[in-house]
Amino acid sequence: MLKTFPIGGIHPPENKLTSSKSIKRLPVPKVVNVPISQHIGIPAEIVVSVKDKVEIGQVIAKSGGFVSSNIHSPVAGTITKLDKIIDTSGYKKQCIVIRTDVKNEANFEEIEYPLKKEIELTPKEIVQRIHDYGIVGLGGATFPSHVKLNVREGVKLDCLIVNGVECEPYLTADHRLMLEKSEEIVVGIQILMKALQIDKAIIGIENNKKDAIDAFKKVTKNLDKIQVAALQVKYPQGGEKQLVRAILNREVPKNGLPLDVGVVVNNVGTIFAIYEAIQHNKPLIERVVTVTGKKVENASNFWVKIGTPIKDLITEVGGLPEGTRKIVNGGPMMGKAIKNTDVPVTKGTSGILVVSEDEASRGEPENCIRCGECVFVCPMGLEPHLLMNLSEKGLFERASNEDIMTCIECGSCSYVCPSNRPLLDFIRFGKNIVKKLETSKN
């Protein structure tokens, strides 16, 4: 029996259309729009002004606090504007607009770094560089990575879990990265183990990516501190708490963090970015993005500069197919529908999913038939139907008592509801109000 988490979970059609498409480099965009808030926490502070010339990897916005992150220029060019542009959240957000200098050769160099195994930096230096080089969690949550590594005195850690689950349907960015950069990722794991001073790491990969499992087994054959765990395919196994439970059989306490059970979780994409930052002095200025959809002509995986407008990616795969009605930043379960294709790729963009007419609309909501399916699939042991009801009726205190805040917004409840009830929508609404009520109380 393959390992998995015990409560809830679903298995939507995988639709991993691009798992055999190797990662191609997207042509350097003419203009990049780099938002200053690409991570969870305080937005970065702009340190450049209009008409400044910037180099690749130069800091253009500085971390605005502990839970924040530096932002680097993905291209060499000139700052043309400091403007507010609609980002993936749907709101206008402060962006730094940079026009790429087409004459600067640095923009078009395709550097393939040789594998470098020796880790020279000390644990402190590693954490500092991860901070300086703007590394955030690339799995989607974009939590600044240095925060996870700044472990308080006295907290005992014993295991690093490497998240190679990629449980979202359609997305293959992590899968391809694991296949193409498995050796680098393993060095990245060793870097993190050194930084955290722990000597056990487990790479969790779902069993629909057998080639990635084999690749890591091969690379780690002589490394007994790093293990590979094949997991049963089940969404949302990529959720930190679910993954820790699946691999180590440890349950992160309510409102707690993996840290509380001695674990740090990092995504494979993040670990590769850490490898490049530590071994090759490369800040986080690009990432792998899957551009996909059932009707997309040349769906594939790309190395994309942060700030690239999504329309550039869509042009690359053959344009928007006829009948496109929705464009999603991320996967179909947790991704956000975007308003237009000018929205830039950010550190958290793992995929662009193009959805056509037949799948873009939701079904008409009907009465709840009290089948309990939402309860059975909830990976957090919640009662989504109840939380929706309480939120709808404005009973936020009760919703809070029913643990609405522990919802991870995986969407399994809305996915299975046979009556098309907007469960997660109301739960999100309830969470927002409860959060506001709690802050006003304190």
With respect to other proteins, which residue has the nearer C-beta, 52 or 402?
402
The whole-angstrom separation of Cα 357 and Cα 345 is 24
> Could you tell me the smallest distance in angstroms from the CB atom of residue 261 to other proteins?
5
236 prior amide bond cis, ω within 30: yes
Tell whether residue 406 is a contact of other proteins (CB under 8 A).
yes
With respect to other proteins, which residue has the nearer C-beta, 298 or 340?
340
> What's 138-167 look like in SS3?
CCCCCCEHHHHHCCCCCCCCCEEEEECCCC
Scan for tokens 């439970």, then name that residue. Answer: 245
159-163 β-sheet, strand order? 226-231, 201-206, 159-163, 263-267
- What spatial distance separates the first Cα and last Cα of the chain, rounded to whole Å? 47
Tell whether residue 339 is a contact of other proteins (CB under 8 A).
yes
With respect to other proteins, which residue has the nearer C-beta, 81 or 311?
311
Give how many residues touch other proteins by CB under 8 A: 78
Tell whether residue 420 is a contact of other proteins (CB under 8 A).
yes
With respect to other proteins, which residue has the nearer C-beta, 126 or 378?
378
31-35 β-sheet, strand order? 31-35, 92-100, 77-86, 53-54
Judged by CB under 8 A, the residue of 320, 345, 352, 399 near other proteins is 320
Judged by CB under 8 A, the residue of 177, 185, 334, 434 near other proteins is 334
Judged by CB under 8 A, the residue of 387, 424, 431, 434 near other proteins is 424
Judged by CB under 8 A, the residue of 97, 252, 264, 273 near other proteins is 252
With respect to other proteins, which residue has the nearer C-beta, 58 or 315?
315
Q: Per-residue string for binding with other proteins, 368-397, x by CB under 8 A?
A: xxxxxx-xx-xxxxxx-x------------
Please state the length of the chain.
Answer: 442
With respect to other proteins, which residue has the nearer C-beta, 134 or 238?
238
> Could you tell me the smallest distance in angstroms from the CB atom of residue 342 to other proteins?
12
Tell whether residue 355 is a contact of other proteins (CB under 8 A).
yes
> Among 21-29, 65-73, 78-86, 251-259, which window interacts with other proteins (CB under 8 A)?
251-259
With respect to other proteins, which residue has the nearer C-beta, 210 or 325?
325
Q: Is 297 exposed, middle or buried (0-12, 13-18, 19+ CB in 10 A)?
A: exposed
Judged by CB under 8 A, the residue of 9, 169, 293, 430 near other proteins is 169
Under a CB-based contact definition with an 8 Å cutoff, are residues 257 and 251 in contact?
no
> Among 76-84, 208-216, 285-293, 404-412, which window interacts with other proteins (CB under 8 A)?
404-412
- Please report, as residue ranges, which positions from 253 to 282 form the binding site for other proteins (by CB under 8 A): 253-256, 261-262
Judged by CB under 8 A, the residue of 93, 241, 282, 431 near other proteins is 241
- Please report, as residue ranges, which positions from 23 to 62 form the binding site for other proteins (by CB under 8 A): none
The whole-angstrom separation of Cα 143 and Cα 419 is 35
* DSSP annotation of 18: T
Under a CB-based contact definition with an 8 Å cutoff, are residues 341 and 314 in contact?
yes
Where would I find the beta strands (DSSP E) of 256-399?
Answer: 263-267, 286-292, 300-305, 324-329, 336-337, 351-356
